Amino acid sequence: MARDLREQVRDDGFAFVPGTDLRALLPLAPSDWEAFAASWADLDLDTHLPDGHRYRRRRHATLSARAGDTAARREPHQPHYQGLEYNKLVGGIERWFEPIHQHILEGPTFRGVLSFCLDFFGALRPDTAWHIECHQFRIEARADAEGLPTPEGIHRDGVDYVLVMLVGRANIASGTTTVHLPDGTTLGSFTLAAPFDSALVDDNRVMHGVTAVHPEDPARAAFRDVLVVTLRATR
């Protein structure tokens, strides 16, 4: 299965993976999942977005791995940076976010996902060392304000590879992930609807975005939780 997915990413620049398929590839400890998913309830508001954009919460961590590693090392906490060519909304500045909790980074679920990323993307770029950034995102939606999972629009992240994995969604409609050629041509779309549903993206070749989310029941809390892992080659 992993070989087929690699061929998709190699040939097409992306692959969408149902959660049941991804779980089969991960060395998971089911008992850890509850604590892992629950940590999304402890994210701080992203205050770097322009006024009026008060729907995104996040935490961030930076790691590194040598070629062939199956585990990564946490680096000292540092800002997230994207150039304006990748993020016209809030690019060109250092953005500091609260760190991902250490017990989440050390837990079996996170370590399993990261091990998968190193193995999967490492096979596409052998003998490569990686700068890795991990982001916990919660996008909230209200009746009077839709949530934008990608407020910067259809974009590249300025890295080599990206994993976008759904952790959970509650009381929301839409939130469809789309993949595009640099000229904007749509290559595919997939709604991350169940835990572990994922998109695997070659960021050098394609762009991606996510449609806005809306509450199904305006009287209840509505949110979409995802883990994003990016890998950038350092040599």
Of 108, 128, 109, the closest CA to residue 118 belongs to 128
CB atoms within 10 A of CB 34: 10
Q: What's the domain range around 13?
A: 2-233
Tell me how far apart the alpha carbons of residues 179 and 196 are, in angstroms, rounded to a whole number: 18
Q: Give the residue from 105, 38, 39, 21 showing the smallest Cα distance to 71.
A: 105
Which helix (H) or strand (E) covers residue 215, if one does? strand 213-215
b/e for 74-89, b at 16 or more Cβ within 10 A? beeeeebebeeebbeb
Angle 108-124/30-38 helices, nearest 10 degrees? 100
Q: Is the pLDDT of residue 63 over 80?
A: yes
Per-residue confidence at 224, pLDDT binned at 50, 70, 90?
very high
Q: Is the pLDDT reported for residue 1 higher than 80? A: no
Mean pLDDT taken over the chain: 94
Q: How many domains does the chain have?
A: 1
Q: Which two tokens stand for residue 122?
A: 């490492």
The pLDDT tens digits of the residues spanning 72-127 come to: 999 999 999 998 888 888 889 999 999 999 999 999 999 999 999 999 999 999 99
- Domain CATH for 198: 2.60.120.620
pLDDT of residue 27: 75
Q: Is the pTM of this model over 0.85?
A: yes
The closest of 161, 166, 162, 132 to 149, measured between CA atoms, is 166
- Helix ranges (H only) for the chain are 2-12, 19-25, 30-38, 102-105, 108-124
Strand partners, 95: 80
The pLDDT value recorded for residue 161 is 98
Q: What is the mean pLDDT of residues 20-31?
A: 85
- Cα torsion 85, 89, 93, 95 to 10°: value is -120
